[in-house]
Amino acid sequence: MDIEFSQEDLEFQREVVEFIEKNLPTGMDVWTKRTEWFEALREQGGWDVPKWPAEFGGPGFTPTQRYIFDMEMGRRDTPPIIPFGVGMLAPILINYGTKEQQDRFLPGIRDGSVFWCQGYSEPGAGSDLANLQTSAVLSEDGTHYTVNGQKTWTSIAHIANWIFCLTRTSRDGPKQEGITFLLIPMDDPGIRVEPIITLGGAHSVNNVFFTDVQVPLENRVGEEGKGWTYAKGLLIHERTGLAGIQNSVMALDKAKQAARNVKVGNGTLMDVPTFKNRVGELEVELLALEFTELRTLASVSAGGDPGPESSIMKLKGTEIQQRITQLNLEASGIYTAPWGSQAVGPEFARGATSAYLSARAFTIYGGASEVQKDVIAKNVLDLGSSR
């Protein structure tokens, strides 16, 4: 397989590396100087919104440039972008929204003044998302929808200003055809948010309840009943991103460094054959996953979509992430017992337990592993549906 970059792509790669070396905040400044970092990205030519086309202020990256950009950013501790607005809603607005919706919502998404959350999963519709039941009933005069129901596992709903939400507007025909995409302000009095504290002790996800929430017709994106079409394309790209290949490369390097600092006999934990073998297995699997990503890149560069390969990347990528947190947990030894506010021991050990517990969700959100295996069996291996 030829994975050589063109001369132009190599020059772009050097440009990205030089930009990071010049502008990336270090230490705690990664958090305190986030604004300056994103402003520098914006001034570079729309790099703060890498998925956006040039006509909307983005860089208009080619698929290869986008891969290089993500790869180099992932190799370093760059300040993370909250994905829901910039990376998830914005592409839908750009492709399916009206000019008025684009003018109204895109500026706040880009400058970070408006936080968005994603209203997809429900208690009975997680991986089987098309089974969602949150209803949206159009008024007789056609001016607004009345929304009732519940969303769950909703990340950052407790701090979000708006939610983009899949709702059911019809129960006739296939369940995928009765779904409508709505934009709803979170300060509506009919919305109630309840926290969910995860196994890792964090509050990042929530239950969101809707009681007679009135949503103006102009807050509907695209056509009524076509929301599944819009969401499906987003999920394919989301699953590709959840693989987190470059982040895993960096995390594995940190786990190896941690193991080298743990004394075992006359050597270190990295000298223990069983531990070293597991590290080697992960390095090989990460390399194979990167080649899968490059094959997907070749397809996209030729005008295709990520397709079912995104399920392979999501499945393997999230499993690898979990196994890396396990390595770090083992390297942390006795220091994994006290954690959270009571954390002690070396720096790498202080977040080990929380990271390990939080990682249990990686193979669930974005489509559980069982769902990804169904997709792979049907669309990659041509085995037909297992349902």
Active-site residue numbers? 238
Give ∠ CA 154-158-163 in degrees, rounded to 5: 55
Dihedral sign computed on CA atoms, order 366, 177, 189, 110: positive
Q: How many CB atoms lie within 10 A of CB 187?
A: 8
d(CA 312, CA 290): 11
3-state helix, strand, coil in the chain (%, to 5): 55, 15, 30
Give ∠ CA 228-234-236 in degrees, rounded to 5: 105
d(CA 80, CA 204): 15
By C-alpha distance, which of 323, 335, 357 is closest to 255?
A: 323
Interhelix angle 309-332/227-242, rounded to 10 degrees, is 40
d(CA 341, CA 355): 14
d(CA 365, CA 321): 13
Dihedral sign computed on CA atoms, order 26, 29, 31, 34: negative
How far, rounded to the nearest angstrom, does the alpha carbon of residue 337 sit from its chain's CA centroid? 30
Residue 236, amino acid? I
Burial of 25 (0-12, 13-18, 19+ CB in 10 A): middle
Q: Where are the beta strands (DSSP E) in 169-312?
A: 179-185, 191-197, 203-216, 220-221, 263-264, 267-268
Q: What would the DSSP string read from start to end of 320-367?
A: HHHHHHHHHHHHHGGGGSS-GGG--SSHHHHTHHHHHHHGGGTTTTTS
The phi and psi torsions of 215 (rounded to 5 degrees) equal -115, 120
d(CA 269, CA 257): 10
- Rg of the chain in Å (alpha carbons): 22
d(CA 42, CA 66): 15
